[in-house]
């Protein structure tokens, strides 16, 4: 074992904390043996729906050494996005809390790059890549392996201290570090998320049929929203937080301190009537820096129209 492994591991965790990450855990880079079969079965069942990109890079998804040559460690990090104020749902469509503000991919990548550059000044150059929900990395599996939390029945990573409203990110690097241990599962007999899911998308514990999930339908799906979702959308126009909102561990969610994650003013002020009038121009202005741009104007418009059809019937 590299004599610096202990020192570097402690340093990385201290820096992660000072850069605002909630948790930081380390795993040894290698083949994710226990994930291979479930991932294969999930794809075979077509639970990924139209997320065809999930079929790509199967090997790289399971082994980060194929992604970052010579990598020895996966550093998993979590970054809080729980807002201090929730956007009112009164006469408004709903949007997932993670999408209230600036795009987390960009915000967190920038923080990670600064953090790594600081680390390199202290310990010298090392090879690395940073990831934020952006490349074939099974980030939830790595976070679980590194002891950050357990995978709940709603398939989110959950921690006792913070619940589940946080982003996951990774630094995959060629530093030899001390791996952490997995934590225990604390879902127990609870099944609130399974019972609350408006579309029965949680088909069994920890297993989501993506093609039935509102998040998938409102963000990933390119075609029209299937009839299956009629009367089940519960006014969600982008994403869905139901299975996290009901989770008892989210009682412990505390507000983030990231100014870039403060809710977009337009989102706070818009009412259903204004959403219905949404134009491409307004969409580009409101969502210029937001994760909502993933669904594009046409996608959000489609979601709103689908919800409108339901409201018209009432």
Catalytic residue ranges: 133
Residues that bind ligand SF4 (CB under 6 A): 152-154, 158, 187, 190-193, 197-199, 201-202, 208, 213-215, 240, 242-243, 246-249
Q: What is the CA radius of gyration of the chain?
A: 20
Residue at shortest CB range from ligand SF4: 152
CB 206 within 8 A of CB 151: yes
Helix axes 5-18, 104-123, angle to 10 degrees: 140
Strands 157-158 and 23-28: unpaired
Least spacing, CB of residue 18 vs ligand SF4, in Å: 30
* Binding-site entries for cob(II)alamin: 61, 133, 154, 157, 168, 215, 240-241
CA–CA–CA angle 14, 15, 17 (5° rounding): 70
Least spacing, CB of residue 11 vs ligand SF4, in Å: 33
- Which of 206, 289 has the CB closer to ligand SF4? 206
- Which of 71, 211 has the CB closer to ligand SF4? 211
* Binding-site entries: 61, 133, 154, 157, 168, 187, 190, 193, 197, 213, 215, 222, 240-241, 243, 247
Least spacing, CB of residue 99 vs ligand SF4, in Å: 13
- Which of 56, 204 has the CB closer to ligand SF4? 204
Least spacing, CB of residue 241 vs ligand SF4, in Å: 7
- Which of 140, 153 has the CB closer to ligand SF4? 153
Could you give the C-alpha distances from 207 to 197, 217, 224, 290, in angstroms and in order?
13, 17, 24, 28
DSSP character string of 89-125: -TTS-EE-GGGSSS-HHHHHHHHHHHHHHHHHHHH--
* Binding-site entries for tRNA: 222
């Amino acid at each position: 074992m590299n004599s610096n492994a202990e020192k570097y591991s402690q340093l990385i965790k201290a820096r992660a904390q000072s850069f605002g990450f909630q948790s930081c855990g380390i795993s040894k880079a290698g083949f994710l043996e226990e994930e291979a079969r479930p991932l294969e079965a999930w794809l075979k069942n077509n639970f990924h729906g139209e997320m065809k990109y999930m079929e790509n890079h199967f090997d790289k998804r399971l082994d980060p050494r194929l992604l970052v040559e010579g990598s020895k460690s996966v550093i998993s990090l979590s970054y809080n996005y729980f807002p201090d104020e929730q956007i009112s749902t009164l006469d408004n469509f709903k949007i997932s809390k993670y999408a209230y503000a600036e795009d987390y991919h960009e915000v967190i990548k920038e923080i990670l790059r600064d953090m790594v550059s600081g680390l390199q000044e202290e310990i010298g150059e090392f090879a690395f890549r940073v990831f934020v929900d952006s490349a074939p990395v099974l980030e939830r599996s790595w976070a679980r392996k590194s002891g950050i939390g357990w995978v709940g029945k709603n398939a989110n990573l959950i921690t006792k201290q913070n619940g589940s409203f946080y982003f996951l990110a990774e630094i995959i690097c060629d530093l030899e570090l001390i791996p952490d241990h997995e934590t225990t599962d604390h879902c127990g007999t609870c099944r609130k998320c399974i019972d609350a899911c408006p579309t029965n998308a949680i088909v069994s514990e920890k297993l989501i049929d993506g093609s039935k999930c509102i998040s998938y339908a409102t963000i990933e799906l390119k075609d029209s929203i299937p009839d299956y979702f009629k009367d089940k959308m519960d006014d969600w126009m982008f994403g869905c937080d139901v299975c996290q909102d009901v989770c008892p561990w989210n009682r412990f969610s505390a507000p983030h301190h990231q100014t870039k994650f403060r809710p977009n003013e337009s989102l706070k002020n818009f009412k259903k009537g204004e959403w219905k009038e949404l134009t491409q121009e307004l969409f580009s202005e409101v969502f210029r820096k937001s994760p909502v741009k993933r669904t594009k104007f046409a996608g959000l418009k489609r979601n709103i129209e689908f919800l409108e059809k339901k409201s018209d019937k009432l």
